[in-house]
Amino acid sequence: MNHKQIVGTALLLVGLLSAVPCLAATYTSFLVPTSGSISMVKLYLETNCANEVTNVNWGSIIPGTTVNRTVYIKNFGGVPVNVTLQALNWTTNPEASAYTPSNYMAFAYTIAGGQTIPPNTGVNVQQTTLYLNVFANVTGTNISTFGFNIQVLEGW
């Protein structure tokens, strides 16, 4: 290497090294937390799992009676899943602050074959019947319509 090449290389290195602190001062970083869950089951309207359940319409219920709806739970995982359902976030119309909806209505369910849904190998769809009982004492309230969420709890 001749003298000009050595000087040119040295100047290039000095220039690059002096730019590094400048580049480092230009960039910042931070972390964004994320979260999620793995769901192994879904609810369907039929045994062939063509239509996912997105809403349960109970229809018009006569006080003192129980209505039911059939759905099917499918396990997409490779291990058995224990499933529990519960009613949450009851609402009424008009909003009946003086009344607690669960004092006038009750949600229940049965899963054919038990609450453990087999893994996604062969038989992995369980028929499930949802029940809603509207007590006769609802006639003493001004509740005319209602709603609630069905929470699907799964454990493996």
Domain at 67, CATH number: 2.60.40
Q: Choose between 63 and 142: higher pLDDT.
A: 63
Asked if residue 72 belongs to a domain, the reply is yes
Distance (Å, whole) CA 146 – CA 95: 9
Report the amino acid identity of residue 153. L
**Sign of the CA dihedral 69, 70, 73, 74?**
negative
C-alpha distances (whole Å) from 147 to each of 12, 21, 75, 88, 142 are 73, 61, 27, 9, 15
Show the domain range for 47.
41-155
Q: What pLDDT sits at residue 3?
A: 60
Q: What pLDDT sits at residue 120?
A: 81
Best-predicted range by mean pLDDT among 1-5, 12-16, 55-59? 55-59
Q: Choose between 130 and 94: higher pLDDT.
A: 130
Number of domains in the chain: 1
Distance (Å, whole) CA 5 – CA 7: 5
Q: What pLDDT sits at residue 20?
A: 55
Asked if residue 8 belongs to a domain, the reply is no
pLDDT tens digit string along 27-41?
A: 888 889 998 888 889
Q: What pLDDT sits at residue 141?
A: 87
User: Per the structure block, which two tokens stand in for 51?
Assistant: 């239509």
Asked if residue 51 belongs to a domain, the reply is yes
pLDDT tens digit string along 38-66?
A: 888 999 999 999 999 999 999 999 999 99
User: Per the structure block, which two tokens stand in for 1?
Assistant: 């290497």
